Amino acid sequence: MKYAVIQVFIQRVTGLVCSIAATACLSISVIAGDATIASASDRNDESYHQDYVYGEPAEPSDAWRIARGGRLYDKWYAVTDVDKPEMTHSAWPASNTMKSGATTWRCKSCHGWDFAGKDGKYASGSYNTGIPGVRGVDDKDVGDIHAILMDDTHGYTHDMIPKNDMLHLAFFLSKGQYDITTYVNADGTVNGDAERGKAMFQNTCAACHGFDGRALNWGDEENPNYIGTEASKNPWEVMAKIRHGHPATEMISYAGFAMQDAADVLAYTQMLPAK
């Protein structure tokens, strides 16, 4: 804290002297620079980052709420850092023995990355449940959607997902859903400008994932899972990650930008090495 006081003092003096003599201004700025470094390192502490991952802004924008809601839709128990449910969800059909336990409680497991449920990608594969999508609540009342989450079929409680977050999730379904078929075709190709996407990728995603997307690997050495791998296999999922970020990490979100920006980045990620 003491640095902050010194800094304010130096800034005042700097402003004054700067308007009188440029040389003096320069030398005082050097001193001010030292003080600023100390205070910047204070901001680099763990809690500052944790606040981005788990906290909430004092005045959340609609785009922040949509990103938060999107991450909750992805894996709410990671977003809120609570214990995962152990039982298989009661609405998970017995006919699907490929999945059980916590993952059957994720919204995306029943309703899909494409929000289309049985009418989309989950018409087949290990997440096939025959459960419908959530496209029907696009632009519907947030309070009504909140009520659906607490109905007998769903059984979510405010102990599991705090009320604030449940409302962000409902807001996301009402205002933040998109029609994925506009951006990703049935065969997995993307309607986006990869050249534009490259410009965005190299200045945002690359900060953590590296210029070729191979700095982070969520597979293992033999079977790596890089952005390039994931974008070719499951562009529906990668679109969700770009729009909303990845639960429980500091990953950025493109919810504040146009949908087409995310589609352009997605198109470029399909050109990155898969191995």
SS3 content of the chain, % helix, strand, coil (to 5): 55, 0, 45
Q: Indicate the burial class of 269 (C-beta count within 10 angstroms; 0-12, 13-18, 19 or more).
A: buried
Dihedral of CA 58/61/62/67: which sign?
A: negative
Q: Is 35 in the site for ligand HEC (CB under 6 A)?
A: no
Query: What is the number of other CB atoms lying within 10 angstroms of the CB of residue 101?
Result: 13
**Residue 37 beta carbon to ligand HEC: minimum distance, rounded to whole angstroms:** 22
Interface size with ligand HEC, residues (CB under 6 A): 44
Contact segment (CB under 6 A) with ligand HEC among 30-38, 59-67, 131-139, 191-199 equals: 131-139
Q: Does 207 bind ligand HEC (CB under 6 A)?
A: yes
Name which position in 24, 91, 194, 259 contacts ligand HEC (CB under 6 A).
91
Using CB under 6 A as the binding rule, whether residue 67 contacts ligand HEC is answered as no
Burial class (CB in 10 A: 0-12, 13-18, 19+), 268: buried
Site for ligand HEC contains 199 (CB under 6 A): no
Q: Is 92 a residue that touches ligand HEC (CB under 6 A)?
A: yes
CA 114 to centroid of chain Cα atoms = 15
Q: Which of 32, 35, 149, 180 binds ligand HEC (CB under 6 A)?
A: 149
Q: Does residue 137 touch ligand HEC according to CB under 6 A?
A: yes
C-alpha to C-alpha distance for 259 and 257, rounded to whole angstroms? 7
In angstroms, what is the minimal distance from the CB of 93 to ligand HEC? 8
Question: Could you tell me which stretch among 5-13, 20-28, 51-59, 87-95 binds ligand HEC (CB under 6 A)?
Answer: 87-95
Rounded CA gap, 176 and 183, in Å? 15
Those residues whose C-beta lies under 8 Å from the C-beta of residue 201, and which sit 6 or more positions away, are 265, 268, 269
Q: Which residues make up the interface to ligand HEC (CB under 6 A)?
A: 73, 76, 89, 91-92, 104-105, 107, 109-111, 131-132, 134, 136-137, 145, 148-149, 153-154, 156, 169, 173, 204-205, 207-209, 216, 218, 227, 230, 238, 241-242, 246, 249-252, 254, 265, 269
